[in-house]
Structure 1
């Protein structure tokens, strides 16, 4: 597909609505995280996440809601996990949501730590740092999606983490973006347009069985 087709949007697309969907999704992730407690199962936490999204007024989800604890933070979106996996007192978890607000797709994911494990805290912080560095590079230098993920891999290695290069970001727009079959951000050979692509970062600890995840919409406004 050419770049125009891969960045196509529907007749109802609105950039302000897209940015509102982003803001609501980020707020929802924070609200969900505050309600998750040690002793919960992943299944219980996922149900809680859906309750929060419904209370906030989402229209529907465009991708299933994920909450993953401990070793399951290493797994990708479509990999099976243990629904009864329990969050420990010193543990790490991530949330990944894809709600639709006013006909526009939100997509937000973040990692959180309970307890006082310093390596888990460092891993969660590193996912944020890598996302910021890569998105800043996009704003500054106008790199292609392919180049952004090459840069992300270099920076992850320099910081002592392993980047999961099977997780390469994707399109978003007015629902449903899937009709455009735009492919992954990491395979896009041109500079991605603001407000249309989600940058995903998933990293793993080099020795221990856990990782961290962060995603957000690439936007010309760094706030």
Structure 2
């Protein structure tokens, strides 16, 4: 499949609506995070997520909401959480949401920390800083998707974190993007277009049993 085919969109696609979908998804992430507190189980956080999305008037969920506590922050999207852990007073967690708004796919996620553990705080800050560097590389250098994740791996190592190379971003568009079968952003050999790709960054602490996650639309 050529690059143009991998970036195909439907007749309803509009970049402004992609950005709107992303803003709404971020609004949901922030509202959910405001309702998560120590003592809550992962399953309770997911139920809260569903409630918030319904309150915001989502059209539908296009991928399951993942909220991962503690050691489960090392899990990839396709892996199930271990058990139903309780969020601790000194803990780390992330939210990952895929939601359809006005026929367009929002996909957003980031990491939060409870308490004041310095290494957890550093981990959450590092994943956002790494994401910002990689997104800036996309904006400023016009590199391929493959080169983008090569750069991410180099920068993660230099920063002292372990990049999960199984997580390499993906297509979005008007729903459903899956009909285009574009593959991972990190395998795309063209220059990724704006409003079509989600950049995903997941890191692990080099010695402790947790990690962090951040994703957003390249636009």
What TM bracket, shorter-length normalisation?
over 0.9
> SS in structure 2 opposite 1:106?
strand
**Do the aligned residues in 2 keep the contact of 1:73 with 1:94 (CA within 8 Å)?**
yes
Q: Specify the alignment match of 2:45 in structure 1.
A: 45
Q: Specify the alignment match of 2:55 in structure 1.
A: 55
- TM-score, normalised relative to structure 1: 0.97
Q: Specify the alignment match of 1:102 in structure 2.
A: 102
Note the C-alpha offset of 1:27.
1.3
> SS in structure 1 opposite 2:198?
strand
Structure 1 unaligned runs (5+)?
A: none
Q: Specify the alignment match of 1:80 in structure 2.
A: 80
Structure 2 unaligned runs (5+)?
A: none
**Do the aligned residues in 2 keep the contact of 1:42 with 1:82 (CA within 8 Å)?**
no
**Do the aligned residues in 2 keep the contact of 1:143 with 1:191 (CA within 8 Å)?**
yes
Root-mean-square deviation over aligned CA pairs: 0.6
Superposed CA offset, 1:137-186 (max 9, x none): 11111010000000000000000000000000000000000000010000
- TM-score, normalised relative to structure 2: 0.99
Structure 1 runs of 4+ off > 4 angstroms? none
Q: Specify the alignment match of 2:167 in structure 1.
A: 167
Q: Specify the alignment match of 1:200 in structure 2.
A: 200
Instruction: Please say which of residues 80-89 and 121-130 is displaced more in the overlay.
Output: 80-89
> SS in structure 1 opposite 2:12?
coil
Residue-pair matches, total: 219
Note the C-alpha offset of 1:82.
3.1
- Paired with 1:155 and 1:87, the residues of 2 have a C-alpha distance of 30
* Pairing 1:101-180 to 2, within 5 Å after superposition: 101-180=101-180
Superposed CA offset, 1:11-66 (max 9, x none): 11111111100111111111110100111110010110111011001000000000
Instruction: Please say which of residues 5-14 and 75-84 is displaced more in the overlay.
Output: 75-84
